Amino acid sequence: MKRSLFGRLWPNVTAVVLFIGCVFPVYWMFATAFKPTGDIISEDPVWFPTDVTLEHFRTATDADHFWTFVTNSLTVTVLAVVFSLIIALAGSFALARMRFKGRRGFVVGFMVAQMAPWEVMIIAMYMIVRDASMLNSLVPLTAFYMMMILPFTILTLRGFVAAVPRELEEAAMVDGCTRVQAFRRVILPLLAPGLMSTSMFGFITAWNELPLVLVLNKDIEAQTLPLWLTSFQSVFGNDWGATMAASSLFAIPILILFVFLQRRAVSGLTAGAVKG
Amino acid sequence: MTVQTERPPSGPVDVVKPGGPDSGGPGPRAAARLGAFAPYLLLLPACAATVLLLGWPLLKDVLLSFQNLNMAQLIQHVTEWNGVDNYKEVLTGEDFWRVTLRSILFTAANVVLIMVLGTLVGLLLARLGRRMRVTLMIGLVLAWAMPVVAATTVYQWLFAQRFGVVNWVLDKLGWHSMADYSWTSSQMSTFFVVTVLIVWMSIPFVAINLYAATTTIPGELYEAAALDGAGAWRSFTTVTLPFLRPFLYATTFLEIIWVFKAFVQVFTINGGGPDRLTEILPVYAYIEGVGNQHYGMGAAIAVLTILILLALTAYYLRIVLKQEEDEL
């Protein structure tokens, strides 16, 4: 009797401990961001903030060039995602619905491209961009981010296109649509969820990117949020309240996206990661 | 972010024969000709982008690695070829081998932790009741969703010397020498922080996918095992483990590749310090190349790192392609 109670109890106790372990760093970021400075630098941590202040968020948003970084990050990320979606849509349609010589080769090629070691290629990318006199510009950044997420976008969309029943497309063509019209009127609307979750992961990758912008854009006017966040400490010293407020501001869009699309994202991912 | 390398959702990959009666268009012959070119035309933008934005930097990296390119040459825009000198210098120097060994040990430690803990959490998810499982899933997804750069700043705060929560807890647990411990002051403690961060970020991916994989194991297999008198452990080793093996192989390789190039975590936590003691290969290439302005040397280190990663990737893709042979 005692043993079965233990047997029922330990998974739940472990789960609670793990849950706290997973959530605590995220919670602590938000908690610190909202705490008055006195509660942050106290000898014993204040686990649950009672006084809430927006002071740290003001410090972060009033920081020099904050809005420039936000605009830059949004511009670069959104453009990269949109361009890669457009390019990937064409390619994934071909890969999912057409039979042609070398199809398998293309798929494998994109799989290799997906694993590209971008972190290690920054020296070469710096030289290319410098020789083109495009340092401190958002254009090369957008182009490379687009490329970073393109293979993933193609391969994922290929799965979504393949999942749209071919009969629907055929029916549309029997009804007099051309192939392009059938694609636009039948497949595209059905692809919307796939486009959403695919673009979400592209967004996260581009939003997070640090090594390339670190090397390419020394000019503060052309920098993005990740770079600002990593240099925040050197600017604000040990002002952890402001640092955590800045981190929260940076993380919130991603967390919202993830939670909003979480179900679909996780099921889509798992459907992809596991042979079912 | 750790979600770049998914396989697309599986589904029937139907194939439309080009030029058949279903391809529409004006005349059957024109349509056939168009149909033959259409897939290549559709793939052209993607391929052009790949060649220009990925192929060219790769080639450029190789070219740079054969050049004597330091600050002077950079400013004067001169190209000085120096053959394999960079490679000779890198490969005969002690530093490269030390950093490579460090990278391998670092990757091994992280991947073992991620896979073991991730698998255990995944199996725990399968065992939990519905409500508890959803709760833990939410926690995992939250950790998974946390952007890398934000996570590194949070971990710096958690492990801060003054007012950091970790030091406070250790102090309260009776480890008083840790009360004002500076985690970035030594090699091992810096690696410890980076490892905790990477493991924390990576477990959700393994756990959630592993849980999803266990749900696809047919229940009859367990029934059959039970009929044959298998206990919990035996049915785990004879049913669960063989079923999950392909998945575990593929995930392990993905994690190896991801951890091996974990530039952002290592670089932002302590910049490869103290005394360059926590530089792993990508950080080493960056600091030698961009930081110390030995661009040719840095490129040579980068090429060597890319070769290691390519070998790993080839092995990973072989595993994946074997699994999805029928789907391609």
What tokens were used for B292? 């110390």
Choose, out of B154, B198, B280, the residue to mutate when testing the contact with A (most A CBs < 10 Å). B154
Note whether A166 and A124 are same-domain residues: yes
Model confidence at A34: pLDDT above 80: yes
* Closest residue of chain A to B61, computed from CA coordinates: A124
Q: Does the distance separating the beta carbons of B162 and A244 come in below 8 Å?
A: no
B22 or A132, greater pLDDT? A132
Tell me B228's DSSP state. T
Task: Report d(CA B56, CA A216) in Å as an integer.
Answer: 17
Instruction: Note the pLDDT tens digit of each residue in A201-243.
Output: 889 889 999 999 999 998 989 999 999 998 887 777 778 999 9
Indicate whether B45 belongs to any domain. no
Number of H helices, E strands in chain B: 15, 0
The CA distances from residue A41 to A32, A45, A226, B260, in Å, are 10, 8, 26, 36
Beta bridge partners of B16: A98
| Of the candidates A91, A144, A153, the residue with the CA atom closest to the CA atom of residue A119 | A144
Mean pLDDT, range A65-70, rounded to an integer: 92
Instruction: Note the pLDDT tens digit of each residue in A176-204.
Output: 888 888 888 888 888 888 888 788 888 98
| Of the candidates B248, B253, B325, the residue with the CA atom closest to the CA atom of residue A107 | B325
Indicate whether A259 belongs to any domain. yes
Domain count, chain A: 2
Q: What is the pLDDT of residue A43?
A: 80
Indicate whether A32 belongs to any domain. yes
Choose, out of B7, B63, B120, the residue to mutate when testing the contact with A (most A CBs < 10 Å). B7
- Smallest Cβ–Cβ distance between A276 and the set B1, B10, B24 belongs to B10
Task: Report d(CA A24, CA B194) in Å as an integer.
Answer: 17
Indicate whether B234 belongs to any domain. yes
% of residues, chain A, pLDDT over 90:
48
A91 touches chain B (CB under 8 A): yes
Q: Does the distance separating the beta carbons of B208 and A204 come in below 8 Å?
A: no
Q: What is the pLDDT of residue B318?
A: 87
Indicate whether A59 belongs to any domain. no
Q: What is the pLDDT of residue A3?
A: 57
- Taking each helix axis from N to C end, the angle separating B94-127 and A2-34, rounded to the nearest 10 degrees, works out to 120
A210 touches chain B (CB under 8 A): yes
Contacts of A228 (CB under 8 A, 6+ apart): A63, A65, A66, A69, A246
Note whether A186 and A245 are same-domain residues: yes
- The answer to whether B323 and B250 are in contact (CB under 8 A) is yes
A250 touches chain B (CB under 8 A): yes
* Closest residue of chain A to B46, computed from CA coordinates: A87
A127 touches chain B (CB under 8 A): yes
Distance of CA A174 to the CA centre of its chain: 40
Task: Report d(CA B93, CA A239) in Å as an integer.
Answer: 42
Q: Residue A42: which domain range?
A: 2-53
Q: What is the pLDDT of residue A263?
A: 61
Q: Residue B87: which domain range?
A: 65-327
Note whether A121 and A254 are same-domain residues: yes
Indicate whether B201 belongs to any domain. yes
Q: Does the distance separating the beta carbons of A150 and B50 come in below 8 Å?
A: yes
Note whether A155 and A206 are same-domain residues: yes
Q: Does the distance separating the beta carbons of B157 and A127 come in below 8 Å?
A: no
Task: Report d(CA B112, CA B5) in Å as an integer.
Answer: 20
B166 touches chain A (CB under 8 A): no
- ipTM of this complex prediction, to 2 decimal places: 0.87
Least confidently predicted of A73-87, A181-195, A253-267: A253-267
- Smallest Cβ–Cβ distance between A107 and the set B162, B268, B328 belongs to B328
CB contacts < 8 A, A to B, total 344
Query: Cα distance from A96 to chain B (closest Cα, Å)?
Result: 6
- Smallest Cβ–Cβ distance between A247 and the set B154, B247, B261 belongs to B154
Indicate whether B257 belongs to any domain. yes
- Smallest Cβ–Cβ distance between A208 and the set B40, B64, B149 belongs to B149
Highest mean pLDDT pick, A176-180, A229-233, B195-199, B295-299: B195-199
Indicate whether B10 belongs to any domain. no
Indicate whether B29 belongs to any domain. no
pTM: 0.87
Indicate whether B165 belongs to any domain. yes
Domain count, chain B: 1
SS (H, E, C) chain A: CHHHHHHHHHHHHHHHHHHHHHHHHHHHHHHHHHCCHHHHCCCCCCCCCCCCCCHHHHHHHCCCCHHHHHHHHHHHHHHHHHHHHHHHHHHHHHHHHECCCCHHHHHHHHHHHHCCCHHHCHHHHHHHHHHCCCCCCHHHHHHHHHHHHHHHHHHHHHHHHHHCCHHHHHHHHHCCCCHHHHHHHHHHHHHHHHHHHHHHHHHHHHHHCCHHHHHHCCCHHHCCHHHHHHHHHHHHCCCHHHHHHHHHHHHHHHHHHHHHCHHHHHHHHHHHHCCC
Q: What is the pLDDT of residue A262?
A: 60
Contacts of A117 in chain B (CB under 8 A): 261, 282, 305-306, 309
Q: What is the pLDDT of residue B80?
A: 86
Note whether A48 and A71 are same-domain residues: no
Q: Does the distance separating the beta carbons of B154 and A25 come in below 8 Å?
A: yes
Contacts of B7 in chain A (CB under 8 A): 155, 159, 272-273
| Of the candidates B142, B44, B5, B60, the residue with the CA atom closest to the CA atom of residue A149 | B5
Note whether A166 and A208 are same-domain residues: yes
Question: Of all helices (H) and strands (E), which one includes residue B22?
Answer: none
Amino acid at B144: W
Query: Cα distance from A192 to chain B (closest Cα, Å)?
Result: 15
Model confidence at A271: pLDDT above 50: no
B36 touches chain A (CB under 8 A): yes
pLDDT band with cut points at 50, 70 and 90 for residue A169: confident
Query: The domain that contains B120 carries what CATH number?
Result: 1.10.3720.10
Q: What is the pLDDT of residue B200?
A: 96
Instruction: Note the pLDDT tens digit of each residue in A41-60.
Output: 888 888 888 888 999 999 98
Mean pLDDT, range B60-70, rounded to an integer: 92
| Of the candidates A210, A204, A215, A227, the residue with the CA atom closest to the CA atom of residue A65 | A227
| Helix intervals (H) in B128-218 | 130-145, 148-158, 165-172, 187-215
Indicate whether B2 belongs to any domain. no
Least confidently predicted of B16-25, B35-44, B249-258, B276-285: B16-25
Least confidently predicted of A151-160, B4-13, B189-198, B246-255: B4-13
Note whether A105 and A142 are same-domain residues: yes
Contacts of B163 in chain A (CB under 8 A): 40-42, 45, 240
Model confidence at B4: pLDDT above 70: no
Note whether A235 and A106 are same-domain residues: yes
* Closest residue of chain A to B11, computed from CA coordinates: A163
